[in-house]
Amino acid sequence: MTEYLLILVSTILVNNFVLVQFLGLCPFMGVSGKLETSIGMAMATTFVLTLSSLCSYLTYTYILQPFGLEYLQTISFILVIAVVVQFTEMVVHKTSPLLYRVLGIFLPLITTNCAVLGVALQNISKQNGFVESILYGFGAAVGFSFVLILFSAMRERINVADVPVVFRGSAIGMITAGLMALAFMGFTALVQI
């Protein structure tokens, strides 16, 4: 039980995918302009990340490993992720047209969110079990969502600040993300995993 909790703490705070491992920066910068959008994106990513880490684990353990085809992991994970994202897109389109419109191009872009592939690959390299894989994916997604939502609330404030023109937009966003990463260094050595 403690182990599972530690996995969550590790992925959400200590080894946060965005601010510590610097994965998934594209949607992090792209969708953090508005709080509503980022909440939607956070939910979609959480769903995709958890589901894809589960699927990739199953694919790896029950299809690739028995046949000794471990070297196909990257390509098959990409396949899995693409399908999960497409599936999510259709579900979102059906169930929440508003969210679908708000997320726009970023929903299919989850496919290229390296955090998703990163989680799948790390699951393998860390030799996580079934539950650990799901938790690891879920924790990574929660960590991503957590900083994404906080960051978007902060960006709404920064967007109206008197920022020098050359630093407007993404530049100040990256600087802020850097400062946030600095703040997240406070969690260093909190959990060793």
Partner 1 sequence: MQTAQVFSFHGGIHPEENKTQSLQLPLGKPSLPKELILPLSQHIGQASVPLVAIGDQVLKGAPIAANNGLLSSHLHAPTSGTITAIESRPIAHPSGLSDLCIVLQPDGKETWTELKPLPNWQQLDATEVISHLADMGIVGMGGAGFPTQVKLQGAHKKPLSHFIINAAECEPYITSDDTLIREKTRELVLGIELFQHLVQAEQVTIGIEDNKPTAIAALNKTLTECNSKIQLVVVPTKYPSGGERQLIQLLTGQEVPSGQYPADIGILCQNVGTCVAGYEAVYLGKPLISRITTLTGKALNAPQNVDVLLGTPVAHLLAYADLQEKQLNRLIIGGPMMGYTLDSAAVPIVKTTNCILAANKKELPAPAPEQACIRCGMCEQACPASLLPQQLLWFSKSQELEKAEHYNLFDCIECGACSYVCPSSIPLVQYYRHTKSSIRDAREAAVKSDLAKQRFEARKARQDAEAAEKEAKRLARQQASASKAVQTKKTAPATKTTEKSALNASNSEAAPQINDTTKKLKVDVAIGKSKLKKLQKQLVEAQEDERLEDISALQLHVSEQEKALVELETELAKAVKANPTKKPSDTPDNSVEKAKAPANDALKKAKIDAAIAKAAVKKVEKALKKAEELQAPEVDAIRQQLADAKKRADELEKVLDNPSPSTPPTEQKPAVSAAQLDLASQVKKEKIAVALAKAKINKLNKRLASSPEDAETVSKDIEAAQQQLVQAESLLATLIESQHNSQETS
Partner 2 sequence: MALLRITSPHTQRAGRRTSWVMQMVIYATLPGIIVQTWLFGWGTVINLAIAGVAALLSEAAILAMRRRPIRFFLQDYSALLTAVLLGIALPPTVPWWVTVTAVSFAIVFAKQIYGGLGNNPFNPAMVGYAIVLVSFPVPMSQWLGVSSVVASGEMLSFSQSLQAIFHQLPVIDSYTMATPLDGFKHKELLDSQSAFETLPALQAASIDSWLWVNLAYLMGGLALLWLRIITWHTPAALLGALLVMSGLFYVFDTSNAASPFFHLTTGAAMFGAFFIATDPVSSCTSNRGKLIYGAGIGILIYIIRTWGGYPDGVAFGVLLMNFAAPLIDYYTQPRTYGHKKAKTGLKIGGDH
Partner 3 sequence: MFTVLLAIGILVVLSLIFGGILGYAKVRFHVEGDPIVDQIDALLPQTQCGQCGHPGCRPYAEAISNGEAINHCPPGGQATIQALADLLDVEAIPLDGDHGTETAQRVAVIREDECIGCTKCIQACPVDAILGAAKQMHTVIADECTGCDLCVEPCPVDCIDMVDVGITAKNWSWDKPQGVAAQSLNIIATDRSTEVSQ
Site membership for partner 1, residue 94 (CB under 8 A): no
Helix-then-strand count for the chain, H and E: 10, 0
On the CB side of 102, CA atoms within 13 Å amount to 19
Site membership for partner 1, residue 157 (CB under 8 A): yes
CA torsion angle for 146, 113, 92, 78 (degrees, to 10)? -140
Site membership for partner 3, residue 80 (CB under 8 A): yes
Site membership for partner 3, residue 161 (CB under 8 A): no
Find which of partner 1, partner 2, partner 3, none residue 91 binds, CB within 5 to 8 Å per kind: partner 3
Site membership for partner 2, residue 98 (CB under 8 A): no
Buried b (16+ CB within 10 A) or exposed e, 96-111: eeebbebbeebbebbb
Site membership for partner 1, residue 159 (CB under 8 A): yes
Residues numbered 35 to 64 that lie near partner 2 (CB under 8 A) are: 35-36
CA angle 126, 50, 82 (to 5 degrees): 100
Site membership for partner 2, residue 22 (CB under 8 A): no
- Separation of CA 148 from chain center: 9
Cα–Cα distance between 89 and 142 in angstroms, integer? 19
CB 80 within 8 A of CB 110: no
CB atoms under 10 Å from CB of 39, counted, come to 18
* Site stretch for partner 2 (CB under 8 A), options 54-62, 104-112, 125-133, 155-163: 155-163
Find which of partner 3, partner 2, partner 1, none residue 59 binds, CB within 5 to 8 Å per kind: partner 3
Q: Taking the complex as a whole, how short is the minimal distance between the CB of residue 14 and partner 2, in angstroms?
A: 9
Q: Which residue has the tokens 């946030």?
A: 180
Which residues contribute to the site for partner 3 (CB under 8 A)? 59, 63-64, 67-69, 72, 75-76, 79-80, 83, 86-87, 90-91, 93-94, 97, 101-102, 104-105, 162, 164-166
Which residues contribute to the site for partner 2 (CB under 8 A)? 35-36, 149-151, 153-154, 156-158, 161-164, 167, 172, 175-176, 179-180, 182-191
Which residues contribute to the site for partner 1 (CB under 8 A)? 157, 159-160
